[in-house]
Structures are given as C-alpha cells and as structure tokens.
Amino acid sequence: MTLHKAEKVVIITEKMILKGVCKIIEDCGATGYTIVAAGGKGSRNVRSTSDRALVIDDFANVKIEVIVKHKTMAETIMVQVAAKYFENYSGITYVEDVEILRPKKFN
Amino acid sequence: MTLHKAEKVVIITEKMILKGVCKIIEDCGATGYTIVAAGGKGSRNVRSTSDRALVIDDFANVKIEVIVKHKTMAETIMVQVAAKYFENYSGITYVEDVEILRPKKFN
Amino acid sequence: MTLHKAEKVVIITEKMILKGVCKIIEDCGATGYTIVAAGGKGSRNVRSTSDRALVIDDFANVKIEVIVKHKTMAETIMVQVAAKYFENYSGITYVEDVEILRPKKFN
C-alpha cells in the first residue's frame, strides 16, 4: 500500500494577516503550505464586499492549506490561529482526513 | 475536544451563474461561502477552452465552498444547484466530511 | 439516496509541468479536472520565493483536482505523476473521500 493517512488543515481568512498565519504554521513544525486567493462571504459579512455581484473581483481573502501527519499538530495550528486572529479578523478553519504518498515529506 | 463534525459542499461551475448559485446557498441557510477562480476541463468539454495549453490562463470557472453543520443541508444545496443549473451549464458538486472549530459560526 | 462515494485526487505542483500532469490524468481515464493558481512553500523551498511576504503575489504553482469513482484510478494518477515529475519538480499529491451527485459524469 502506497498511501498513508494524514490531515489537511484549511484556514480561510483576510489577506492582511497571511504572514502571521504562515509563521504559526511554520512554528508548529509543518514543512509547507499552499496559498490560494479567495473571495467570499462570512458570518460577519466582512470577508468581502456585501454586494454578491462584486465578489468574484474581490479576492481580499486567502485560503491556506497545510498537510500534516498527525491530528494533534493539525489541531494545534487551528487553535493557535483562531486564538490569535479570529476575534479581530474574519476567518474559518477546518481539518479533513487525506491520504498521501511519500510521508517523509511531511511532519 | 475542540473539533466538531461538519460538511463541506463544493460546487465548481461557470462564473456567469455565480450569483444564482450564491443565492441558493444563502436561501438554504448557510452563513457564508468561499469563492476561488478556477479553470479546467469537464466531461462536456465546456469548462474551458479545448486546448490544454491555454487552460491556466482561462479562469472562466469558479469553485465555491460552503461549510454547513448537517448533511441534509449539504445535500439540499447540491440538489438545488444541480436541478436549476446543471442541465444548461457545466458543473460538478461534491461533499466532504470536515471538522471545525467554533460550531456557533455555522448553520 | 442521491449521493455516491468517489475520490478526489489533488496535485499541487509547478505550473510549468501542468500540461504533462493533465495528460497523465486524461490518459488514466478521468473525465475532467479543475485547476487553481496557487503559491506556497514546500519542503524543498522551491514552491515559491523564500520570502513569505511575497508569497501571495507569486502564483507559480497550480492546484489540480480530479474526481474519480474508484481509489485504484486515484492511486494510479498519484503514483504516475509522482514517478514522472516529483524527483525533479516540487509537488505533493493527496486523495480525499468525497460524495458526488450524478456518478455517470465520472469514470
């Protein structure tokens, strides 16, 4: 069997705090992350303009994905990002089960 | 335990119907959604130009993600979007199990 | 029940090999794929500039998603992409369980 269980943490938040979020991810020991530009609408209505028609032109958010081997590291990243930023910035975070090739690439 | 089970609905479809898809999502009671620009190739070959080499410059699609707490709401969104749009526009929709922090933010 | 089990393969790699990765996906029999522009940082530090502050402006990577019905096809795509490209190009690949509507659209 070539596949190994791992966890994917996703954080969707405001672009202006990207650097700080990435620092938490690295400080927690993750070996890498992927960033995608995103727009959208959140429960606080601050993840984009309130006019849906403009959403697609308004990529003021980022979606950050991190693959880690253990759920404890996943949960640590999620809790630290939420504790530091989600009182003052809009954002959500969730985790999904994935299966990876080459587990040596990940912590 | 800080994590709670939830569902992530993903809809990948043509940008021109984004507004209508977002209306269905909101009418179903979801508290937010995330939008990413996308390209690609679908079973009807209409999700992008047919020339693969051009795909990366051709973000005529959108990927919309919605986190909801219950699978019934996830399935309602998927079925309504497919019924209203997927006869006339290309698109796919799927749902994944996720775990979230702060379930009060989601319906 | 309207939902059917399927697999989502994700490949995150350098934009310059997109065409070759898409050829593998099609040759394996998948009916479509979705492409998103991405940046990030990998275990080899070659998925982006080394300066985190610049990451968001540097979408030299692509995230490719493929929905297939069976895990054997998912694993074949992952193994072939990794074997052909991941010695010389940075990249990761993982697979997730999803549930789809309309299974006739997928191989």
Q: What is the pLDDT of residues A16-59, one digit of tens each?
A: 999 999 999 999 999 999 999 999 887 655 444 444 434 444 56
Closest CA in chain C for residue B14: C34
Average pLDDT of every residue of chain C: 86
Q: What is the ipTM of this complex?
A: 0.86
Angle, helices C18-27 vs C71-85, to 10°: value is 150
Residues 27 to 46 of C: which have CB under 8 A from any A CB?
A: 36-43
Decide if C67 contacts C106 (C-beta within 8 A): yes
Q: Does this model's pTM top 0.90?
A: no
Nearest in space to B105 (alpha carbons), one of A69, A43, C59: A43
Nearest in space to C89 (alpha carbons), one of C25, C17, C24, C10: C17
- Chain C positions touching A96 (Cβ under 8 A) are 96
* pLDDT at residue C38 greater than cutoff 50: yes
Average pLDDT of every residue of chain A: 86
Number of domains in chain A: 1
Domain extent, residue A78, equals 4-106
Looking at residue A56, which CATH number applies to its domain?
3.30.70.120
- Chain B positions touching C8 (Cβ under 8 A) are 94, 96
Of C37, C43, C96, the CB nearest to A98: C96
pLDDT of residue A55: 44
What mean pLDDT comes out for the span B35-60? 63
Closest CA in chain C for residue B80: C101
- Chain A positions touching C41 (Cβ under 8 A) are 22, 32-33
The answer to whether A86 faces chain B, any CB pair under 8 Å, is yes
In the chain, the amino acid numbered C74 is A
Closest CA in chain C for residue A64: C40
Decide if B91 contacts B21 (C-beta within 8 A): no
